[in-house]
Copies of this chain bind each other. A is one copy, B any other.
Amino acid sequence: MNIIGKNHIGHRLSSKSNETLKIINPETNTENSNIFYEATLEEVSEAANLAHSAFITFRNISGPQRARFLNKIADNILKLDNKLIESYKEESGLTEARAINERARTIFQLRSFAELIHNNNWRESIIEEAEPKRIPNPKPDLRKTQIPLGPVVVFGSSNFPLAYSTAGGDTASALASGCPVIVKAHEMHLKTSSLVAQAIIEAAQETGMPDGVFSHIIGRGKTVGTALVKHPRVKAVGFTGSISGGRALFDLAAQRPEPIPVFAEMGSINPVVITGKALKKRYKKIAEMYANSITQGTGQFCTNPGLILTMESDNTSDFIRELAKQVSKIPSQCMLHPNIKARYEQLTQDIKTANDLQIVTDIKNANKPNYADALIATVSGKTFLNHSKLHQEIFGPFSLVVRVANNNELLAIIEDLEGQLTGTIMAEQEEYPDLPPLIDALQNRVGRLIFNGVPTGVEVCAAMQHGGPYPASSDSRFTAVGVHSIKRWVRPVSYQSFPKELLPENLKQHE
């Protein structure tokens, strides 16, 4: 049975529509052979209703059982072996090394959540026993724990076909919490997504999970995604992608008769501040470090350093020259999709109209259709402040170096920035006493602060915050990465004066 091309409505394959689509291989700029059936609205509704039925069972399945399911998903993904890696490469234009690395991250995330839910500590339960003799009124016994919200729709990202897609962080955290998941497959990597979906479905069957605990829906454009987010059985949404895409889903969800939470991890330009002393002491090293960070994965990371704020100093020009030199040395690389390449071209053209903006890298004119040249531009602080277009993300191997005149201008620029995933400070030890106002200002605009490092490379751990003030994410109070990302899909419930035998296991006694 060929599982590639059809929708997974729970354990069942379905292809009711006449609408089909194909995937482009960005490396060769040709269509791959597989044909994919777009889901009909009927199929969307079937998946949502089935997810609701599954929820009634799934929410009461024990943590260790759900952990088995997650570990089995990881096992099944590994079993796909080279088939998965090849599909990843042919759909994303990314390298084999990257594919293997990202698969490892995906497996790690699944196993982290499996470990997390092996006991109930993650539910942050609180037990307050009755105080029948309290004056003036007795205090009742009250116990609080966390329960899952219901079916979650996950929109995977273009730039992480594995780790932030079908079985990525959103899916793993939602399943861990007890929420069924419906993945809207990303239309740039449908084969990779279908392979992973099949691995999940098989894991569900092998570990006795209810039909509908996972569905995988194919769709182009907005119709299918809109229908999923508006379906009354859907109770939350996870999204990784562009600001316009995330905002559209957020708006749909907020306008429902019953609004539901959307966690959208969206765009960011990830400002980096480099002090004059840091430039003086090590501008070459910093240039090299950042040339790599800016161009890694063809710059297609949400934490790509798209804005470098250098303090005007004797070495600013040296740094810019060195950064341009280092970046110019890096060969053109393939982008994820012709549309992404086209948008990169468009946006890097658009900014050229800004006063005093200069492109400092060599123009190589990459001769393969979806290949992009890395690009560094520079501009004065004043121009940056007056051109909000320069504050927008350019997805790809691009960074804008702003020559900041003084500390007041720096703080004004930071205050004026939209919300960001990260903010980085490159500084020398002798400057530490002067840094608190900068740290304070930057902290108010970002979710993660990095010191003397690069923002790319998002560690998967409990102390990670991946999210930030809008539009970095749609709700800065949650993270998309690390075990705490489970908090997006659960809500507290209290039990008052309940007999012990009727309480959930984890509320029966202090542990």
Interface residues of A (CB under 8 A from B): 56, 59-60, 126-128, 137, 139-140, 142-144, 147, 149-150, 250-251, 254-255, 258-261, 418-419, 429, 432, 435-436, 439-440, 443-444, 446-453, 457, 459, 461-465, 467, 469-471, 474-477, 479, 484, 487-488, 490-499, 501-502
Using known A-B contacts A499-B429, A499-B432, determine if residue A143 contacts B463 with beta carbons closer than 8 Å: yes
Q: Are A492 and B450 in contact (CB under 8 A)?
A: no
| Contact yes or no, A502 B139, CB < 8 A | no
A496 to B461, CA, bound (A): 12
Q: In the complex, which residue of chain B has the Cβ closest to the Cβ of A453?
A: B497
Copies of this chain present in the complex amount to 2
Given A139-B459, A463-B127, A499-B429; A487-B493 close (CB under 8 Å): no
Distance between Cα atoms of A449 and B494 in the complex (Å):
6
CA of A499 to CA of B250 in the docked complex: distance in angstroms? 38
- B498 engages A459 (CB within 8 Å): no
Q: Is the pair B463, A128 in contact by a Cβ cutoff of 8 Å? A: yes
| A496 touching B142, Cβ below 8 Å | no
Provided the pairs A432-B499, A462-B126 are in contact, do residues A493 and B144 lie with their beta carbons within 8 angstroms? Answer: no
CA distance A127 to B462 in the complex (A): 9
Question: Which residue of B is nearest A260, CB measured?
Answer: B470
Of B447, B457, B475, which contacts A493 at CB under 8 A? B447
Chain B positions within 8 Å of A490 at CB level: 477
Q: Is the CB of A254 within 8 A of B258?
A: no
Q: Is the CB of B493 within 8 A of A452?
A: no
Residues of chain B with a CB closer than 8 A to A471's CB: 258
Q: Which 8 A-B pairs have the closest CB atoms?
A: A254-B254, A142-B463, A465-B494, A476-B491, A128-B463, A448-B494, A465-B492, A126-B463
